[in-house]
Amino acid sequence: MDEQTVPEIDPAEARLRQERGAVLVDVREPHEHATGHAEGALTVARGELEAAPAHWLPDPGVEVLLICQSGGRSRAAAAVLRGAGYAHVLSVAGGTERWRADALPMAMPTGDLDFYERYARQLQLPEFGEAGQRRLEAARVVVIGAGGLGSPAAFYLAAAGVGTLVLADDDHVDRSNLQRQILHTNDRIGAPKVESAAATLSALNPRVRIEVVPERVTSANIERLLAGADLVLDGADNFPVRYLLNDACVKLGLPLVYGAVHRFEGQVSVFDAGRRRGEAPCYRCLFPEPPPPEAAPNCAEAGVLGIVPGVVGLLQATEAIKLLADMGESLAGRLLHFEALGMRFRETRLRPDPDCPVCARGRPFPGYIDYAAFCAGA
């Protein structure tokens, strides 16, 4: 039988037939069941059911009702079962979505209901699922800077469910920040940025633990700030901190998600030389020496379109989530450029420098330097 000719019934009728003895089978994948399934349904992935229907349905004369997410997979599976000799197979029209909309009883996962409801859309992704969500929940991410890049990045990391966010910034909220630093509000002008950021993030997702460090990042405190981290996100707006972060992450074996903006442009990359010596570049491989100050003015001097750090910060958060959940291909070895006026992205391949003073294979860590003097002398 072709799947287009498989008879369908609505969820209410399916519920009545189930109560009269019909077997309801949810043919979605296991990760989809994390958001709940029709009460009393046998949960068997479509592939498993089609491969060995007799294992799950030993009586070919039983009435079988198949349900999926919206109705397509259940029709296809019903056609296969009918071809295998099951004469009484029906598909539930609209699937679990309609079953839920019709307020029919659902079986929910036991335990932490907030977890399953809050992250339902991520849990439905087969590439991510509950395993990926649990990795995020166990992760500790250090975000350096609660400004233009740190704001959107931290906002989405908190929403996604990163377990612990450490926010380091010694600045205070200024009115000129509000055009791009979305963690802050007008009534918090003058407040420490980390306190303002923590208030916003905790209101968004109280499951996330927020640790605030209202300090300027220096070589004296960097290793304390990064202790126990799984990943570091660079939201700094100055070269001394960028070089310091790079060197510390190489020494400590931590991935560094880099971002920078200038006027209408931005760039993003992942520097993972600390874990992949000789294979992945570090920030110094890209910029062995900082540019002179006049060639790289900050946002206060050159201006910036507010949405640009938003785009770059979201790209940084995306890279962080991929790394933490162990999925996809990271930007390690690639520099992604974004240009807002022409709405263009381009990519530059990066190679590790075999003579890099910090990350060259087999080279011992040279120690921290006076980064302010190093950058001022460029």
CA distance 33 to 129: 10
Q: List, by residue number, the catalytic residues.
A: 299
What is the rounded distance in angstroms from the CA atom of residue 307 to the CA atom of residue 72? 40
Domain boundaries, the chain: 3-112, 139-376
Element (H, E) at 212: strand 209-213
Specify the pairing of strand 64-67 against strand 106-107.
unpaired
Quick one: which of 45, 30, 34, 43 has its CA closest to 109? 34
Which tokens go with 298? 């900050």
Q: Is 60 exceeded by the pLDDT of residue 232?
A: yes
The 10s digit of each residue's pLDDT in 323-366 is 999 999 999 999 999 999 999 999 999 999 999 999 999 999 99
Section 95-99 average pLDDT: 96
Average the pLDDT over each of 90-104, 213-227, 299-313 and give the range with the smallest value.
Answer: 299-313
Q: How many residues does the chain have?
A: 378
The 3-state DSSP class for residue 301 equals helix
Q: Name the nearest CA neighbour of 209 among 144, 270, 165.
A: 165
**Superfamily of the domain at 139-376:** NAD(P)-binding Rossmann-like Domain (3.40.50.720)
pLDDT of residue 296: 58
pLDDT in tens, 280-319: 999 999 999 887 766 556 666 678 999 999 999 999 999 9
Averaged confidence pLDDT in the chain: 93
Q: Which residues of 164-198 are buried (b: 16+ CB within 10 A; e: fewer)?
A: bbbbbbebbbeeebeebbbbbeeebeeebbbbbbb
pLDDT on residue 377: 67
Region of 209 please: left (phi>0), alpha (psi -120 to 50) or beta. Answer: beta
b/e map of 247-286 (b: 16 or more CB within 10 Å)? bbbbbbebbbbbbbbeeebbbbbbbbbbebbeebbbbbbb
3-112 in CATH: which number?
3.40.250.10
> Distance (Å, rounded) from C-alpha 260 to C-alpha 121?
30
pLDDT score of 23 more than 90: yes
Per-residue pLDDT, averaged over 16-40, amounts to: 91
Amino acid letter, 193: K
In this structure, what token pair is assigned to residue 172? 């205070």
Helix/strand/coil (H/E/C) assignment for every residue in 256-280 = EEEEEEEECEEEEEEECCCCCCCCC
Rounded CA separation 1/259 (Å): 55
pTM of the model: 0.82
Give pLDDT tens digits for 66-94: 999 999 999 999 999 999 999 999 999 99
